[in-house]
Structure 1
Amino acid sequence: MRGQCSKTYPDAITSKMENMRSRRNLCGQVVHDLGCKILAGEWNPGDPLPQEVALCDTMGVSRTVIREAIKSLAAKGLVQSRAKRGTIVQPARSWNYLDPEVLDWQTQADDSGQLLFHLTEFRQAIEPAAAALAAERGSDEDLRKIETACQEMADNTDNLEAFLQADLKFHTEILHATANPFFSPVANVISVSLESSLRVTNRQATDNRTSIPPHQAVAKAICDRKPEQARAAMVALLGDAAARIQNAADSQ
């Protein structure tokens, strides 16, 4: 008996759709492999990638897949195709670090731990302003979500994974509560930063419990609609996190 898909589409169309899905999966894997190599420094900015034929042989895929993968990497700012020079790795300043995949590749390539400090600095520049805007503009529903996430953190101090998800939700809801869509992509940075930092600084339930009061201070200031208090509370929260990251790094 044929599957539901075959009942709906002619065999030729079904086969074509399956081929397209397979090609997308292959392309995604090639994008991942090449992206990791670039972020790991296997090819430096200004270096050309191997020619299409060589990449096809090395990765066992068709030229079509390689070309689609190169287009995806170019959209992320990692490479640029140039006439007579091939595909060139772009300077790091051109890379889209807010792209979830680029951020993931950089995390995998970071052996020094410097990425976590960079992420924390970025958060210190963005999140205090977001907290102030959330206090000014957040809807009642937005504030309820922030309070709920803060409570979920307090309820899950003994569970690192549940605590991490609640912590991420707390900071993400604050970004959404700004009513400014340009803050939302920062959630990718916060996700990586939180996961990396909590695994370094919050290895025991007591570590989680000590981070609850600073989060509660932020939540209260936002829900009381006091922008400057919310900003100051977020500065204090992130300052405490940065200090704990530094202490953990110094003790290694």
Structure 2
Amino acid sequence: MTLETLPHHQGDAAGLARLLARALLAGHWQPGDAFPKELDIGTHFDVSRNQVRNALTRLTSAGLLTRTAGRGTQVREMSDWHLLDPLMSEWMTGLINLDPQLIRAIYAFRFSAEPVVAGLAAEAADADDIARLEAAFEGMQKTARSPNARAQHAEYDVMFHDATYQASHNLVWRQMGHLLRPSIMALVHSSQHRTDTFDDSLTRHRHVLEAIVCGDVDAASFAAREVLRRTAIDLGIVN
């Protein structure tokens, strides 16, 4: 792919790095592809070579690119990307057109992790946690019927999952929930575009909430898995 399809950039090296990173995350260039040369990037975006180098350094440190003398710059394999790097989370925030391969990778992690997290939440959730979960679910319900409220619905959906991570009262999972928020939002937005109704999704989220409120670990884990099975259908991963 070329630079011509990307919007022009006005700003510093951090802004240029964000623009290029988001293009990579959206699949504009694929793993193994040669990345544009420094001179071409500078010319296209009308920025200094120093800004370009600083931007590429950020992308390299996040595992997106590899730079080798004599071979230039190449896109690294997705397995080498530092997806939990806070900088990567920042770049992913608000991005809804993730590369399909990346969507599958994020989904696979969530399918493995979130049933465990929901089970921990059923064991550890306190009154404040339950209040946050109930508020998020009520928001999902209120915005489910309005086509104009889909963005709000997505926010409440992500709030629900974030509240589940927080309710685990596990330091690592809580941090993981924070770092995963942009990627969860990206999957929620992607899945919304493939469904006309949220009725089934709401039912599945309600089961998660009820199981956590009741302190039923097995039921919470099962219900969280069923939420993600619905997500897989909406994403087109399964039929």
Query: Does TM, normalized by the shorter one, top 0.5?
Result: yes
1:90 is the counterpart of 2:76: yes
Cα deviation, 1:33-84, whole Å, max 9, x if unaligned, reads: 433554535475273641x334322321112211210121012111234455
1:210 maps to what in 2? 200
Residue in structure 2 matching 1:190, options 180, 184, 187: 184
Contact 1:130 1:175 in 2 (8 A): yes
Residue type at the aligned position of 1:31: A
1:138 is the counterpart of 2:125: yes
1:163 maps to what in 2? 153
Residue type at the aligned position of 1:193: L
Distance 1:168 1:29 in 2: 26
Contact 1:44 1:89 in 2 (8 A): yes
Residue in structure 1 matching 2:54, options 65, 68, 81: 68
Partner of 2:144, secondary structure, is: coil
Distance 1:105 1:212 in 2: 23
Residue type at the aligned position of 1:183: M
Contact 2:122 2:217 in 1 (8 A): yes
Distance 1:227 1:242 in 2: 23
Task: Calculate the aligned-residue CA RMSD, in Å.
Answer: 3.1
Residue in structure 2 matching 1:100, options 73, 78, 89: 89
Which blocks of at least 5 consecutive residues in structure 1 are unaligned?
Answer: 1-22
- Among the aligned pairs, what percent are the same residue? 24
2:138 maps to what in 1? 151
TM-score by length of 2: 0.77
2:6 maps to what in 1? none
TM-score by length of 1: 0.73
Contact 2:22 2:92 in 1 (8 A): no
Contact 2:133 2:209 in 1 (8 A): yes
Distance 1:246 1:54 in 2: 37
Distance 1:244 1:68 in 2: 39
1:103-122 matched pairs, under 5 angstroms: 103=92, 108=97, 110=99, 113=100, 115-122=102-109
Higher relative contact order, structure no. (Cα contacts within 8 Å, ≥ 6 residues apart): 2
Displacement of 1:142: 1.4
**1:152–1:48 CA distance, 2 compared to 1 (3 A):** closer
Displacement of 1:140: 2.1
**1:129–1:86 CA distance, 2 compared to 1 (3 A):** same
1:18 maps to what in 2? none
Between 23-32 and 188-197, report the one with greater CA deviation: 23-32
Which blocks of at least 5 consecutive residues in structure 2 are unaligned?
Answer: 1-8
Contact 1:56 1:63 in 2 (8 A): yes
1:222 maps to what in 2? 212
Cα deviation, 1:143-169, whole Å, max 9, x if unaligned, reads: 210111112212222232322221111
**1:105–1:89 CA distance, 2 compared to 1 (3 A):** farther
Distance 1:106 1:161 in 2: 13
Displacement of 1:218: 0.5
Between 95-104 and 212-221, report the one with greater CA deviation: 95-104
Distance 2:186 2:224 in 1: 18
Distance 1:246 1:229 in 2: 26
Distance 2:68 2:36 in 1: 11
Displacement of 1:29: 3.7
